[in-house]
Structure 1
Amino acid sequence: MPRRVARVLIDSPLPQLDRLFDYAIPDELREQAVPGVRIKAPLRTAGRVVDGYVVEVGDESDGDRALSEIDAVVSAAAVLPERLYTLARRVADRAAGSAVDILRLAIPKRQVRVEKQWLAGERAPAPVVAADSLETARAVLDAYPGLAERIAAGGRIALDAPPRLEGARPAWTSVLAAAAAATLAAGRSAVLAVPDHRDLDLLHAALSALLPDDAVVRHDAGQTGPERYRGFLRTLEDAPCVVVGNRSAVYAPVARPGLLALWDDGDPLLEEPLAPYVHARDAALVRQELADPETGEKPALLLAGHTRSTDVERLVAVGWVEDVPPARRYAPRVVLSAVTESERPGARIPSAAFRAAREGLAEGPVLVQVARPGYSPTLVCADCRAPARCRHCGGPLHAPGRGATPVCGWCGRSATAWTCPACSSPRVRLASSGSERTADELGRAFPGVRVIVADGAHPVREVDARPALVVATRGAEPIAEGGYRAVLLLDGDRMLQAPELRIGESCLRWWSNAAALAAPDAPVHLVGVTGAVARALATWTQASYARAELHERAPLRMPPTARVARLEGDVSAVDRALATLRADVPELAADAVLGPVPIDRQGWPGARALVRFDYARGAAVATSLRASVVSEAVSARSARKGSARSRAPRNMLTARLDIVEPEL
């Protein structure tokens, strides 16, 4: 009689365990051990019982093969359907990572009470989109000719969202909600991913205006464990739904996915900080290529934003993603202004921008965007202009308020009786203005006007239509009722000085998102910035700026014109991995490898190397690097057996693909 065998994925961070293991299913567990369930199984190499998932089940006629038996089935809930495992495996292989690391992002921690209620309850019926809601959604999509047809056909779309407000919400929320409603009305699911909780709340409100509450599943890191697990279990059901959440929402295992949508893919919050560090956009691109096993249909991919990231523009340039422009173009009124020589030395706001703020305050709120929070984030010596540093740890000093004692930004100590180590001067000078100092200065310039500070320490979601000066850091701008009557973008030159590869497109994204909050025909003043970034904002041609950036990076093979992998580890391990890579992928360019260079790894000497390669070589490079990581992990484990405990790091070699900001 053939025996029943399960292929199991072990829940372990060890790279050498990232494969399927065969386990015999004991007779008493034949009915329970089905694909997708959680199980416990013995692991010979560790001598203990570990968690895992059943991926496949089959019969084996070879009864002589020695197999361990599954120890127990944890739950009857099949939390790992085939579609989710296939996605996790594809994404992990592309990033040279482990499938279990992807599943940790996709499958929440088990909640026993919630799971029992779900198993005993009835499944959700297919949601119904009301006729008037569907008509409203189609009217919104009609603003982009051919958009609805491309979504229905499973197309890949780049969309420039309208930079304006519609009532109390940005217009982009209506576009994404309309696309989701049309998809749900066709009997398919939609997955919408946004960067942060503010965007999530806005989009959820737009969806609630079109769809019944039971059709929308919120996927939020701020939810309680039971809430998140309850929403995950809903996505396992056959009835379609709309999932809205942050970056990990792209892995939601919904039935019959018809739409994957990302808002503002250039936002760094969509970059996964956990291994294997897969950007939500890349995970969505992989998922869009996976056809539904039952119908053979592929979901549509919608990449929307006020600006165009270079990653999306590269996909448009190669024809992988199609640009769908609106039937009618709308752009804010952007004014480039600068402080003239005739104005007061050291002035931050030109007279034209100051006048626009005064006129705007006569009608309603005015937005002032600044680079940094706090009062004065940077202090220098008043005499020699040397940076003011803490005498204890060497950290930068900052002023928490007007006339306050300087405080260290690292250790938090107050710098009483500070003297400059270079010239012995006891005086400091405010070298920069944060949100609080800017609010203080504007409060004196506009007496009697409300001043509202919006930053990480003072979160503000909305402001009313009464006159007010709203001083906000980038990304923390609240929405004003009816839109801001004027927008002042300060500290632009300081923002552009950051030593980052993508600082130009980041600044353009910050400024464009702020400009989109302005009322119709309200002036948007960009202060003290010239060049390509300023022209792109003034003419609202962000896609052209992204194309120019790609053109400049191509000769240098900088991302995203090429993929970049980073190898770190023991010096000999890095050398072996690079030699193996050259042998496995001989098509690599002669200058593909940068380094290795020496680094410190927890007090242990190590090395780091960067590898630049074309997208066509991605699968071969990822396979080679992953094999080297596994080989080094196995060798390190064998060397540790029977030897004294070593101070060396446990990971002899680590690989990370698609470095966003490489150390070049």
Structure 2
Amino acid sequence: MSGVRVVRVLIDSPLPQLDRLFDYAVPPALAGEVAAGIRIKVPLRSAGRVVDAYVVEVDNEPDVGERPLSEIDTVVSSVPVLPEGLYRLARRAADRAAGSASDILRLVIPKRMVRAEKAWLAGEGAVPTIVSGDAAEHARATLGAFPGLREAIRAAERLAVDAPPHPVLTSAGEVGGWADLLAAAAVDTLAAGRSAVVVVPDHRDQAQIERALAARVDDAAIVRDDARRSGPVRYAGFLRMLADTPCIVVGNRSAVYAPVHRVGLVAIWDDGDPLLTEPLSPGVHARDAALIRQELDGCALLFAGHTRTTDVERLVQLGFVRDIPAARRRSPRVVLSATQEGERRGVRIPSTAFRAARDALAEGPVLVQVARPGYAPVLVCAECRRPARCRHCEGPLRARSIGAVPECSWCARAARGWTCVHCGSEKVRLASSGSERTAEELGRAFPGVRIIVSDGGHQVEGVPATPALVIATRGAEPPAEGGYRAVVLLDGERMLLSDDLRIGEAALRWWSNAAALAAPDAPVHLVGVTGSVARALATWSQSAYARAELASRAPLRMPPAVRVAAVDGDAPSVETAVAALREAVPALDDDSVLGPASRPEGGMRALVRFDYRLGADVAASLRSSVVAAALRTRRSRGRAPASTGTPPTLRVRVDLPDLDL
């Protein structure tokens, strides 16, 4: 075919005005090297320099005389790292979130490592993995605990299951029942000749999934995708995903985009964990990306957790996701512990929970969950109970031990001779107990017992079956060999005092995940909490709690009953964006936009509440406003001297979990 060979490229740039395909001509010298998906460099006239880009399409045009095209500069690599499916997924996810596709691809495609790439090209490719008969049979038996689950996965349905709340012993070590279930689903999918992607919040969950898989398939079948791995190793793993041989990908939130061959299953564990929310622009949650991928690729989608988020429950109520219950319902033995008659009111550990911990220590480890790390995160005035503040920077004061001089959490200055500015008192008291102070108190109550602290500063991966008291902050509870012989959940009332819309949902998730670490029939004591959240834990009816929460939010137009977008920037930019939105989407009523209101850190914010049916129109309008604001900023920079500073830009974040003004 005669004509000029033309490529349509996506420029790797954070600038929103460049988030579209650009046409470039292919010089004859590079005609044999250019293919869809490869990395290249192209000249950018507006910037006056050469930039990185991906080839999305290659075409031949008979005549481009009326629109002269710049030629591509160089071919960076001949490896097609951007398959068509990955581009479509990134484009759809970015459009839904009013963001840029290049921002998503930057999270997914690792930086090029020449040595790893040459080793891959010189090799023979991925070795086909054969699932043994025993592994396939074990996977079928594990999935059989949920009638119809295996067939639904093979039929590429959208599914939600409540994970088994008990540990499981495998040949590679002990794992949670949830890890055993998801590993079985992945292995069964691999046995059918298709790839599986398992997305988990953090490295501890990833380690459990890997142990569960190691007991069933060869290590060559597993691709680990997380930011903790070195650049060459991660890039080699990415190249393995691009091969035509199915595999199992295990990783954190960005793994949901893994460009594997013939994906048959995407499984997400504990989608309520905030770690699955991408903090970088455009901030697409792994759950939303998985829903888009399921639609595009026609694969199965599995949501698993010890609790049910209101987001997934909404999809279940709509019939978009199918709930598959277990054939036999199993739940931990939860006890709602309160102070008994004759006990001092406000005692931190009631006698029932204390006795349960003491008796359980004769058999093995006991888990005590607390709200915060450290010794005493908060000090207050002993007289007026107002927070104790540093006289130099107004930061909160803390204490490292009993009798120690308080110090500032911000500037680290010692607060000797402190006096309250409100009442003049010179005394402070501990308003809360962190993990270290709790460990000190329980160490005195249980002399001779080993104390283990697990929090952000003391990470513990696992606990042996010997007697020990494990003091852990929420989310940092290490699994114990054989399960904990008792679990005590403290500071529940303090956790529920947060003004977060989803605090009840979050607290139920924290408690349920800790309760699932208990050995069969071991007591789980929830201390000092009553109400619907406590009842949901005691009856192990988290799905019912999610339904009730969803029903209560719908009349108030709170997420996830509606979607929420935040528009941040200077006052003129925000007001212009809101006005343009109202004009572009007339279906928005007067109550849809909250604000604009000033932000403590400066600038303005407006919140937009909108129905799911309006999502595409709202995202397109907000995206147009972001591009317009960026162009205005560029023109301002061109006219104003550098000393005047950078004009503020407009920022948009879609799908906020809460109405946070």
TM-score tier (shorter): over 0.9
Aligned to 1:270: 276
Which sits farther off after the overlay, 266-275 or 435-444?
Answer: 435-444
The correspondence of residues 552-567 of structure 1 with structure 2, limited to 5 A, is: 552-567=552-567
Aligned to 1:617: 614
**Aligned counterpart in structure 2 of residue 146 of structure 1, from 140, 148, 152:** 148
Aligned to 2:263: 257
User: Does the C-alpha gap of structure 1 residues 648 and 551 become closer, same or farther in structure 2, counting only changes over 3 Å?
Assistant: farther
1:225 aligns with 2:227: no
Query: Once the two structures are aligned, what percentage of the paired residues are identical?
Result: 66
1:402 aligns with 2:409: no
- SS state at 1:524 partner: strand
**Aligned counterpart in structure 2 of residue 192 of structure 1, from 186, 189, 198:** 198
Aligned to 2:59: 58
Deviation per CA, 1:93-130, whole angstroms, max 9, x where unpaired? 00000000000011011111101111222111321101
5+ residue gaps, structure 2, are: none
- SS state at 2:510 partner: helix
- SS state at 2:265 partner: strand
- SS state at 1:655 partner: strand
**Aligned counterpart in structure 2 of residue 643 of structure 1, from 627, 640, 647:** 640
Which sits farther off after the overlay, 361-370 or 137-146?
Answer: 361-370
> 2-side partners of 1:323 and 1:173: how far apart?
19
> 2-side partners of 1:573 and 1:226: how far apart?
42
The correspondence of residues 515-594 of structure 1 with structure 2, limited to 5 A, is: 515-594=515-594
User: Does the C-alpha gap of structure 1 residues 199 and 594 become closer, same or farther in structure 2, counting only changes over 3 Å?
Assistant: same
The correspondence of residues 155-166 of structure 1 with structure 2, limited to 5 A, is: 155-166=157-168
Please state how far the C-alpha of 1:648 moved relative to its aligned partner. Answer: 5.7
C-alpha RMSD of the superposition: 1.3
Aligned to 1:43: 44
Please state how far the C-alpha of 1:148 moved relative to its aligned partner. Answer: 0.3
> 2-side partners of 1:582 and 1:630: how far apart?
17
- SS state at 2:413 partner: coil
The correspondence of residues 54-203 of structure 1 with structure 2, limited to 5 A, is: 54-64=55-65, 65-167=67-169, 168-203=174-209
> 1-side partners of 2:437 and 2:58: how far apart?
65
Are the equivalent residues in 1 in contact too, given 2:365–2:469 (CA < 8 A)?
yes
- SS state at 2:554 partner: helix
What amino acid does structure 2 have at the position aligned with 1:488?
A: V
The correspondence of residues 390-429 of structure 1 with structure 2, limited to 5 A, is: 390-429=390-429
Please state how far the C-alpha of 1:345 moved relative to its aligned partner. Answer: 4.3
Please state how far the C-alpha of 1:645 moved relative to its aligned partner. Answer: 3.0
The correspondence of residues 597-608 of structure 1 with structure 2, limited to 5 A, is: 597-599=597-599, 606-608=603-605
1:662 aligns with 2:627: no
Which sits farther off after the overlay, 17-26 or 447-456?
Answer: 447-456
> 1-side partners of 2:112 and 2:356: how far apart?
55
Deviation per CA, 1:244-294, whole angstroms, max 9, x where unpaired? 000010011001000000000000000100000010101101111003xxx
Please state how far the C-alpha of 1:649 moved relative to its aligned partner. Answer: 4.6
The correspondence of residues 214-613 of structure 1 with structure 2, limited to 5 A, is: 214-291=220-297, 298-599=298-599, 606-613=603-610
What amino acid does structure 1 have at the position aligned with 2:15?
A: L
> 2-side partners of 1:588 and 1:126: how far apart?
53
What amino acid does structure 2 have at the position aligned with 1:322?
A: R
Deviation per CA, 1:590-644, whole angstroms, max 9, x where unpaired? 2111111133666xxx321111001111011111111111122122212332332
Please state how far the C-alpha of 1:574 moved relative to its aligned partner. Answer: 1.6
> 1-side partners of 2:350 and 2:374: how far apart?
23
Are the equivalent residues in 1 in contact too, given 2:371–2:491 (CA < 8 A)?
yes
Please state how far the C-alpha of 1:415 moved relative to its aligned partner. Answer: 1.5
> 2-side partners of 1:644 and 1:362: how far apart?
74
Are the equivalent residues in 2 in contact too, given 1:375–1:402 (CA < 8 A)?
no
Are the equivalent residues in 2 in contact too, given 1:367–1:471 (CA < 8 A)?
yes
> 2-side partners of 1:354 and 1:149: how far apart?
46
Consecutive aligned runs of 4 or more in structure 1 exceeding 4 Å deviation:
646-651
Are the equivalent residues in 1 in contact too, given 2:558–2:658 (CA < 8 A)?
no
> 1-side partners of 2:386 and 2:46: how far apart?
58
User: Does the C-alpha gap of structure 1 residues 598 and 387 become closer, same or farther in structure 2, counting only changes over 3 Å?
Assistant: closer
> 2-side partners of 1:144 and 1:156: how far apart?
15
> 2-side partners of 1:376 and 1:349: how far apart?
17
Are the equivalent residues in 2 in contact too, given 1:601–1:649 (CA < 8 A)?
no
Please state how far the C-alpha of 1:537 moved relative to its aligned partner. Answer: 0.2
Aligned to 1:628: 625
What amino acid does structure 2 have at the position aligned with 1:284?
A: A
- SS state at 2:374 partner: coil
> 1-side partners of 2:536 and 2:386: how far apart?
36
Please state how far the C-alpha of 1:647 moved relative to its aligned partner. Answer: 4.5
> 2-side partners of 1:563 and 1:383: how far apart?
45
> 1-side partners of 2:202 and 2:639: how far apart?
48
User: Does the C-alpha gap of structure 1 residues 70 and 287 become closer, same or farther in structure 2, counting only changes over 3 Å?
Assistant: same
Please state how far the C-alpha of 1:424 moved relative to its aligned partner. Answer: 2.8
What amino acid does structure 2 have at the position aligned with 1:631?
A: A
What amino acid does structure 1 have at the position aligned with 2:139?
A: A
